[in-house]
Amino acid sequence: MIPIGDENPTLSTPWVTYLILGSIAAVWFLVQGAGFDGYALAASACNYGMVPGELTRLAEVGTGVPIGEGLACVIDREPVNIITPFTSMFLHGGWGHLLGNSLFLWVFGNNIEDSMGHVRFAAFYVICGLAAAAAHVFVEPSSVLPTIGASGAISGVMGAYLLLYPRVRVRMLFIFIIIFRVFRIPAWIVLVYWFALQILEGLPQLRPGPELTGGTAVWAHVGGFVAGVLLVKLFEDRKLVRRRSLVADAGAVWSDSKHPADVHLK
């Protein structure tokens, strides 16, 4: 199922959400070649993606990781490695990765920004992304694989949404072969279900054994989500949240007053 919207209108323009989405798109097209330039895509992941083993220095310098035909990402000690937990948040591995993350950010991000204000939301987003990166490094400290994507930071936004708007209904698109249906599901069900899936998928990674050879960094998702849950009350603007609640209540009263039994035709 895919979230395509929610029944939670915003009261102000989500400029930071627009900026993040625009920045991700700009990096995808201008730096990563929109996925059509294999070398640019591989080089961006290698140079600006986060490699846990480089940060912890547990990976041996010179170790090469194949990332494409005739291409390898080599472990180094370049100064840029320090900022890769941040730069990796703007990189993606393909169109599906990019569009999926952008959709989740759009559905859940504008309401969280509306509840925090622009500056607080920007800080919250980055901190959740860094927390997600830290969680991934903690689970796989010697990994030599580059990690990229905004999903860790977006997971933090989803955690915040769970705390602030658990009862809001989210429109979920269900696709089964040729069947397309949209269901209106309470946000808490959508988000708790998603979080549970991340935990279940991540449990095998906690077993002693060799590092993973690829796949989704699910513990980054878990770390970002938990950070969002823990930090949302610190970053929320109570005045904005209260204003949103008043508007929502007023809308509900207006809607009730328009019940067919209460409308008098003239």
Whether residue 231 lies inside any domain: the answer is yes
Q: Is the pLDDT of residue 261 over 70?
A: no
Whether residue 209 lies inside any domain: the answer is no
In this prediction, residue 209 has a pLDDT band, given cuts at 50, 70 and 90, of low
Task: Give the total number of structural domains in the chain.
Answer: 1
Q: Higher model confidence: residue 260 or residue 215?
A: 215
Whether residue 208 lies inside any domain: the answer is no
Q: Higher model confidence: residue 143 or residue 177?
A: 143
Distance of CA 248 to the CA centre of its chain: 26
Whether residue 262 lies inside any domain: the answer is no
- The token pair that represents 255 in the structure block: 């809607």
In this prediction, residue 178 has a pLDDT band, given cuts at 50, 70 and 90, of confident
Whether residue 42 lies inside any domain: the answer is yes
Whether residue 223 lies inside any domain: the answer is yes
Count Cα atoms within 13 angstroms, Cβ side, for 191.
29
Domain at 23, CATH number: 1.20.1540.10
Task: Tell me which residue range forms the domain holding 144.
Answer: 2-203+217-255
Whether residue 265 lies inside any domain: the answer is no
Length of the chain counted residue by residue: 266
Whole-angstrom distance, CA of residue 222 vs CA of residue 135: 8
- pLDDT in the model for residue 263: 35
Whether residue 23 lies inside any domain: the answer is yes
- pLDDT in the model for residue 257: 45
- pLDDT tens profile 184-196: 999 999 999 999 9
